Structure 1
Amino acid sequence: MEKVGIGIIGCGNISGAYLKAMTTDFPILDIRGLADLNGELAQSRASEFGLQARSIEELLGDPDIQIIVNLTVPKAHVAVALQALDAGKHTYSEKPLGINFAEGKKLADAARAKNLRIGAAPDTFLGGGHQTARTLIDQGLIGLPVGGTATFMCPGHERWHPNPDFYYEVGGGPMLDMGPYYITDLVNLLGPVSQVAGFAITPRAERIITSEPRNGERIPVHVPTHVAGVMAFASGAVVQIGMSFDVAGHKHVPLEVYGTEGTLIVPDPNRFGGPVEYLKKGGQFEEQPLTSPYSDGNFRSIGVADMAYALRSNRPHRANGDLALHVLEVMEAFHTAAAEGRTIKITTTTERPAPLSVSLIDGRLAQ
Structure 2
Amino acid sequence: MSELEKLNPEFVKSYRMLLLFLRFNFIDLMNQMSDMPYFKYLYLFMFSIYTIALVCHTSGILEKISEGANLLQLSGDLSAAVVILQGAILFVNIYFNKNKIKEFILRLGLEWRDDNNLRPELVMLKRKQLSAVYLFTFAFYTGLNIFVHSYMMIPLIYIMIKKFILKLEVSHTVPFYAKVPFNYENNFLLYLIVYMYDYGIMYNLGYLISADILLITVSMNNLRILFQLLRDDFKSIFNSLKNGNTPRSHGVIEKHLITTIRRHITLLELMQELSTAFNGIFAIHLIFVSGTICFFGFAAVFGGTLEDYKNFVASVIVIVYIFFCCLHGQRLADSGMDIATSVYDSAWYQLPTKYKKIILIILLRSQKTYYIKSTRFTEISLKTFTRMMNMTWTFFSVMKTIYKRS
Instruction: Give the structure-1-normalised TM-score.
Output: 0.23
The structure where strand makes up a greater share of residues is 1
The structure where helix makes up a greater share of residues is 2
